[in-house]
A and B are shown apart, each in its own frame.
Chain A
Amino acid sequence: MALQSLKNCLWLSCVLRTPKACFWSTASGGLIIQSVSNDVYQNLAVEDWIHDHMDLEKQHVLFLWRNSPAVVIGRHQNPWQECNLRLLRQKNIKLARRRSGGGTVYHDLGNINLTFFTTRKKYERMENLKLIVKALKALRPQLDVHVTDRYDILLDRQYKISGTAAKLGRTSAYHHCTLLCNADKFVLSSVLKSPYKGLKSNATPSVPALVKNLFEEDPSLTSEILLDAIAKEYAVQHQIDHHITLINPADETLLPGIGNKTKELQTWEWVYGKTPKFSISTCVNMTYKDSVVDVKVNMDLKHGRIEVCNIDLPEQWLPPGLYSELVKGLTGSKFCPNEATTLVTTLLRVCPQDDELHSRWNLLCENMIRLM
């Protein structure tokens, strides 16, 4: 215990580059840390913090973390294109946007995340992935795992068990990847299927792949065993103690400013607002009384907000005044069901109290909201 706290203390004095003597001058080469939190936002914030504040010249860092159910999209992706947002909301699965590139992944406690922090100059993804494969083979020599040139790790030559992404800054860089130990494949496949039609965007698309859990290959493998094996291999390669330091991402003393980073990652402006420009062009069929009404919807979206809104309704289906109120109201609003619902229900207060009118309005609005 005392040894660990001493190490924490020394690690920090080096980390913050205060003008005190650095006890790590005998460059140890590496540090392995593991998060005690399963909150995806907190863990992503730790990555940001280390990337922004740690001096990686003297030592590299391996960060181990796991999250409770969450979908994580890449920096330049479109959440509407990548996953089933309705299902996420229903199942209370969090949505996060990370700062690194790449595609969308589903995290739960059966998936482990590994982040390799180095200086920008020492950024080298292949080395890291080979380290993981070496650790896996050392653990279970019969495992058929190898690294592809797309930086995936495949099991039995066909199943993807790891995906990679990276972030490069001015002086530091990180490469993180997942490792499927025992994740819920059913939820994974249902949540990563987008129901939204008519989306056109230049956002980075995800490449779907066949996946398999390591647990399915060998039921004796657990997340803990795998984490430990990888840490051991990292320790060997960096010639350091096989010792994992636990960190609490909520500890503002240890990681000053982490609270703000965590908060920023949860804002709507980051998660949805950073979506590259895209457009929706679709046709909605509404059943009203005994007929079907076709509504053509065309919208341009920028920063997650409706920039241009075109709804083609049959003439006079709604009084023109009310129709223009709807379009005016939606323009500039967030492409978000909560905001849209508040807007449309409020607009209803100031229009004539006619039951027929109300039911048409509700039908149209509910269909519009379903697009979000």
Chain B
Amino acid sequence: VCIHRVRSCSSIRFIKSKYVCVFDKSALKFSHQQRLFRTSAVSCGQIVQFKLSDIGEGITEVTVKEWYVKEGDSVSQFDSICEVQSDKASVTITSRYDGIIRKLHYSIDDIAFVGKPLVDIEIDASKGVASEEDVVETPPMSHEEHTHQEIKGHKTLATPAVRRLAMENNIKLSEIVGTGKDNRILKEDILNYLAKQTGAILPPSPKAEIVPPLRKPEAVPAAPKDKARKIPVPVSRPIAFSGKDRTEPVTGFQKAMVKTMSAALKIPHFGYSDEVDLTQLVQLREELKPVAEMRGVKLSFMPFFIKAASLGLLQYPILNASLDENCQNVTYKASHNIGVAMDTEQGLIVPNVKNVQVCSVFDIAVELNRLQSLGSAGQLGTSDLTGGTFTLSNIGTIGGTYAKPVILPPEVAIGALGKIQVLPRFNGKGEVFKAQIMNVSWSADHRIIDGATMARFSNLWKSYLENPASMLLDLK
């Protein structure tokens, strides 16, 4: 009796679903019935024992290696349930039914038997049950949908949720190319189709569309009806539909960042910024690049910035110091181990170049190359990442001009370098010329460093870079 009621209710729902607002109003009349219908549907769901089907080659038992579902999860037909292994063959077992997993009969590493129950699934009675054979077949739906498919002449694979989404958006399933298993239409396919239709959500990018070679017109996996459409380029999904929060634990790199930054917060920061005219340095680097290349080394601007910083630290050693926990003692570090912030796939790391005070610009370039290749391979060692005394962050390679860098304890100062821009400036004669301008933003620990010291250090650093020849006078 309750199953009969469920069926009649479901057909009403589907026929009316096109007219959403009408349905909503009429829902008020049906609401009581609806609610009853729902609760009765839950208690009427039958539990089906899904047995492990034949693997082939006369195999009778397999080892369960991984579960993709747990008790209480809802599954759709063709969703993967588990992975089993038998004698070098890994088999993905997929669900035959739509429903809710009620029991897993085996744990990981248990032996499962062919023909015996693998999982118990509670089937939602209104949705119907797939046939026994593993054939491409659509689960029984309302009349309207069934005829719709037959008219098109072929069967489309899609779960009830996907069908509803298509129906609500007036999309014909036959127009969509499925990217799921066996060309099954997934939710993403509907969303991508919608994104292309609206156009307003995505920026027009005629250049990005790849024109397929003329010799393969039939091979284009786009909707066959629309001849004007070219190969779609994967673009970002429309934000309207995603909206599911995701919580992850903070581990690894992020945990480390949390620790460092929380400690850094205790340091009273002050900032000081300036602009540096790198016109002469740019020219110098152009001249020296091929020389370095002949020696097998890539020469960027960083070695110059680092060496100039070290020369500056010789005059203002307090910037290369460390304050102890109780703020009782200041330790002036003898080595200038200048850290270079690096952006990797996993996050921010700061390896340092040791003893810059006794290195030439070329030595620094060599060391930077080494650190950079280790950094991108994820193979930096502990010694490369510890012992830093002063840090430079070249955020300008990514973009930006001004920054407010955070000091990395136990250091007391840090500099962030913006990007080099070509800007008009006035020279001594009052003429406008093209200058290569870079902004630097320093942060320092105000407990032991005052503004004047920072300013003087910055001026000295700036003068070395604006007039590279002056570095020669003070090079050690």
Contact = CB atoms under 8 A, between A and B. Distances in A.
Partners in one complex: yes
Interface of A: 2, 5-6, 8-9, 12-13, 16-20, 52-53, 74-76, 89, 92, 99-103, 120-121, 123-125, 151, 164-171, 173, 175, 202, 204, 252-254, 256-257, 259, 274, 276-277, 305, 325, 329, 332-334, 336-339, 341-350, 352-353, 358, 362, 365-366, 369
B427 to A, nearest CB: 44
Contacts of A202: 108-109
25 contacts: A2-B215, A5-B216, A9-B219, A18-B224, A53-B183, A74-B88, A76-B85, A100-B90, A101-B86, A168-B56, A169-B91, A170-B181, A175-B89, A259-B234, A274-B66, A276-B108, A338-B378, A341-B382, A342-B346, A343-B255, A349-B409, A350-B409, A353-B410, A358-B386, A362-B382
A167 B89 contact: yes
Contact of B219 (A101, A165, A253, A369): A253
Interface string B347-387: 10100000000000000000000000000011111110110
B144 interface: no
Contacts of A164: 88
B92 interface: yes
B324 interface: yes
Nearest to A343: B256
A210 to B, nearest CB: 19
Contacts of B65: 75-76, 276
B218 A9 contact: yes
A152 to B, nearest CB: 10
A303 B109 CA distance: 15
B181 A16 contact: no
A16 B249 CA distance: 41
B257 A346 contact: yes
A328 B353 CA distance: 30
A220 B174 CA distance: 55
Given A12-B216, A339-B252, A345 B386 contact: yes
Contact of B252 (A53, A121, A334): A334
Contacts of A256: 179, 221
A170 B325 contact: no
A123 B409 CA distance: 61
A342 B218 contact: no
A48 to B, nearest CB: 11
Contact of B89 (A12, A168, A305, A325): A168
Contact of A170 (B78, B85, B179): B78
B89 A348 contact: no
A348 B256 CA distance: 10
A102 B219 contact: no
Contact of A101 (B90, B210, B217, B377): B90
B85 A75 contact: yes
Interface string B205-235: 0000010100111111100100000010010
Nearest to B374: A338
